[in-house]
Amino acid sequence: MKRRLAILDDFQRVALELADWSVVREHYDIDTFDRVIAVEDRPAVLRPYEVLVAMRERTPFPASLLERLPGLRLLVTTGMWNRAIDMEAAARLGVVVCGTGSSVNAPVELAWALILGLARRVHLEDAALRRGEWQTGVGIELHGKTLAVLGLGRLGREMARIGRAFGMEVIAWSQNMTPLRAEEGGAKLVSRDEFFATADVLTVHVVLSDRTRGLIGSNELRMMKRTALLVNTSRGAIVDEEALAAALNDGAIGGAALDVYGAEPPRADCPLVKASRTLLTPHIGITTDRNYRMYYTQAAEDVLAFTQGRRLRALNGGVSPIASRA
């Protein structure tokens, strides 16, 4: 009997189409799940599988879940980091965790689509035209405006580069940023207060952590211009949703474009869903054909290497792939 492998959270049902799993199928029967499995059902549903392929952080793997999956040997995550996996627990339990490459272009392109859509009122004019109306408002040009990049990692640096191509002044800030790092990323480091006060477009590109959770709250939003636009394609919890909704509804800032939310999908009572001045997308920053092909092709490679007793793109200590768990 073949061993079992599950591909989780394949919302678009494309995992098996966008990569060649034929050699993997020689070793494993493959099941796919197109929806997030309920928390209470995960131990029972996932228990039969030796290998799990996770799509980013859609399904968390804390120690409490890993401990209830005694047959699990390999956990593959798309991307080369996943804060929703308890790496230490996985290593302690003998579960090897491997990753895949990830496109910088996909989330950066979406961030700019949201910036341009918000600035030129694309969503509002589209809706108005469908109602039979014509030219209902005036957009803004980006040239000469100030792009404020929160975080200058891989994505932030690319955002800064494109901002300069639009003729924008690029500033940056984060809790640990230095003038040299900002300069290397193509931006000018400013103080926290100046960062929020002078931004015409503020785009978020920091990792969610205890330090960045709620980093943008009512105080920061009150510093911003009434015309400023806020774009978040990083993690929803970095921005206080209640405070942002209040700022939008009160006209304290010009608008917000969001791809991420504190809970995903957003709950029915999420204040941002009903807030004015918003452009909302359902966490599609990574969902491009090229990025998904990379994810699933390299996930299949990780699994195949595992069957050969090798670790490919390993993210934790784990144990030998051939070792058994008691």
Q: List active site positions.
A: 235, 264, 283
**Sheet of strand 188-189, all strands in order from the earlier edge strand to the far edge:** 188-189, 169-173, 146-150, 201-204, 229-232, 255-258, 278-280
For 241, what's the count of Cα atoms within 13 Å in the CB-facing half-sphere?
Answer: 19
The answer to whether the beta carbons of residues 95 and 75 sit under 8 Å apart is yes
Integer CA distances (angstroms), 310 to 175, 228, 253, 318, in order: 39, 51, 52, 12
- Measured CA to CA, the distance from residue 116 to residue 234 in angstroms comes to 17
Q: Where are the beta strands (DSSP E) in the chain?
A: 3-7, 28-32, 51-54, 74-77, 96-98, 146-150, 169-173, 188-189, 201-204, 229-232, 255-258, 278-280
Which of 90, 28, 31 lies closest to 64 in space, CA to CA?
A: 90
Taking Cα atoms as reference points, which of 306, 286, 297, 300 lies closest to residue 97? 306
